[in-house]
Amino acid sequence: MSEVEFANEIKRDLRLALEKDQLFLCYQPLIDVRTGKVASMEALLRWQHPKKGMISPIHFIPVAEETRQIIPIGEWVLRTACRQMKEWLNMGCSGFSISVNVSVHQLQQPDFAKVVFDILNEIELEPRYLELEITETVLIEAMDTVVRNLYRLKEMGVKIIIDDFGTENSSFRYMQKFTVDGLKIDKSFVSEIKVDVNKAIVDAIILLGHRMGLDVTAEGVETREQLDYLVERGCDKVQGYYFSKPLPPDEAIRMVQKGYQMFHVSSLCSQVLPRGRRSERHKRRG
Ligand code: C2E
Ligand code: CA
Ligand code: CA
């Protein structure tokens, strides 16, 4: 089948995927380097296609964006992830938040912040439990509607994180105008951390983030070597296959329930960063 044929079939079938209950979410933990505990769970969308099997979001999200189906799908993701978070809180699991990926097309909807507000109200979930991951493109394409939505969300108490940081040209100009809560270093820099230029990029992003008072996460951590480097450089959170693949909700929550101290990263952290330096930085970040 040609790429065009595949894309057309995806386009056609995606229309029914939501109705026919073929979409579901997996959750991948983000680990706090200082405590070794789960700080957040990122919701990642999956499509179980009746004939094609599991389809990666890399293949269907761009189609959903092109056809605008990302609007109802994105709303379903938000509601499902928030419901899941509420269920976990009701089970007595706390100390972490839920992260949801949001497309620029959703943020371009004038009522997007209201949609989020209504979902949180309906589920009775406090906004502090929700983080939205946006890409740099969102800031670069920032138009009045996007900026207004982001301001409203921040006012509500929802956290905004820039995903895949470092992959777009540069959103510094926009970061000057709009403050976010955190940066996520793209996995392409982490996977090739042995290469000096990537080390330099990772160092620079961590430094920049901390100077701006932001939380810095590294995604795509697969090896101990990568983890050691990131911890040594003072990265705040880590995420990747080294800790866990994206998992169904009941498996993901087991990590929190066990109070899992992920590979004793906290003890590693105190060895590497002298206490004085760490507390100084945290004081500055307030
Ligand atoms: P992302 O938000 O940057 O998510 C990280 C991707 O890296 C995920 O792929 C995750 O499974 C994968 N990953 C995590 N740890 C590792 C690791 O250690 N090594 C490697 N090689 N990969 C790792 P996934 O789930 O296939 O998602 C791909 C992309 O699709 C996401 O990238 C995100 O941009 C998009 N996406 C997923 N779910 C949603 C959603 O609900 N809404 C929107 N708008 N986009 C979504
Ligand atoms: Ca993400
Ligand atoms: Ca990412």
- How far is the centre of ligand 3, averaged over its atoms, from the C-alpha of 188 (Å)? 9
Instruction: Please name the residue whose Cα sits nearest to atom 19 of ligand 1.
Output: 220
- Average pLDDT on 179-183 reads 91
Ligand 1 within 6 A of 57 CB?
Answer: yes
* Secondary structure (DSSP) of 157-209: T-EEEEEEETSSS--HHHHHHS--SEEEE-HHHHHTTTSHHHHHHHHHHHHHH
> How sure is the predictor about 249, in pLDDT bands with cuts at 50, 70 and 90?
very high
Q: What is the pLDDT of residues 127-146, one digit of tens each?
A: 999 999 998 777 776 678 88
Q: Which of 2-6, 63-67, 149-153, 242-246 has the lowest mean pLDDT?
A: 2-6
Where are the extended beta strands (E) located within the chain? 23-32, 38-49, 53-55, 97-101, 130-135, 159-165, 182-185, 215-218, 237-238
Q: Whose CA is nearest to atom 10 of ligand 1?
A: 246
User: Taking ligand 2, which is a single-atom ion, which protein residues have CB atoms under 5 Å away?
Assistant: 101, 133, 163
Q: Which ligand is nearest to the CA of 103?
A: 1
The helix-helix angle for 224-232 and 265-272 (nearest 10°) equals 40
Span from the CA of 141 to the centroid of ligand 2 (angstroms): 18
What is the reported pLDDT for 262? 61
Rounded to 5 degrees, what angle do the CA atoms 146, 154, 65 make? 35
pLDDT tops 60 at residue 190: yes
**Lowest-confidence range among 82-86, 174-178, 229-233?**
174-178
Residue 221 alpha carbon, nearest atom of ligand 1 = 18
CB 235 within 8 A of CB 19: no
Residue nearest to atom 27 of ligand 1 (CA): 57
pTM (2 d.p.): 0.92
Interval between CA 277 and ligand 1 midpoint (Å): 33
Please tell me the predicted confidence (pLDDT) of residue 268.
54
For residue 235, what are the domain limits?
Answer: 3-285
Q: Is the CB of 222 under 6 A from ligand 1?
A: yes
pLDDT digits (tens, 9 = 90+) for 101-119: 999 999 999 999 999 999 9
Check residue 85 and give its pLDDT: 98
- Give me the CATH number covering residue 257: 3.20.20.450
Q: 84 phi and psi, to 5 degrees?
A: -60, -45
pLDDT at 67 over 50: yes
Ligand 1: which of 80, 106, 219, 221 to mutate, most ligand atoms within 8 Å of CB? 219
Ligand 1: atom nearest CA of 103 is 44
Q: Is it the case that residue 11 has pLDDT exceeding 60?
A: yes
Of 150-159, 171-180, 205-214, the poorest mean pLDDT is in 171-180
| Portion of the chain with pLDDT greater than 90, in percent | 72
pLDDT, residue 113, reads 98
* Spatial contact of 239 and 31, defined as CB atoms under 8 Å apart: yes
Q: Looking at per-residue confidence, does 283 or 38 come out higher?
A: 38
Give, for ligand 1, the residue of 40, 101, 133, 237 to mutate: max count of ligand atoms closer than 8 Å to Cβ.
101
Give how many domains the chain has, as a whole number.
1
- What does pLDDT average to over the chain? 88
Backbone phi, then psi, for 281, in 5-degree steps?
-65, -40
Helix 57-66, helix 70-90: angle, nearest 10: 130
Cα of 217 from ligand 2 centre, angstroms: 11
The pLDDT score that the predictor gives to residue 273 is: 45
Once rounded to an integer, what is the mean pLDDT over residues 203-227?
A: 96
Average pLDDT over residues 177-202: 91
- Distance from CA of residue 194 to its chain's centroid? 24
Q: Cα Rg for the chain, rounded, in angstroms?
A: 19
Counting from 1 in the atom list of ligand 1, the atom nearest the Cα of 219 is 15
147, pLDDT greater than 90: no
Please state the rounded mean pLDDT for residues 80-95: 97
Q: What pLDDT is attached to residue 207?
A: 96
pLDDT band for 258, please (50, 70, 90 cuts). Answer: confident
CA of residue 259 to ligand 2 center, whole Å: 24
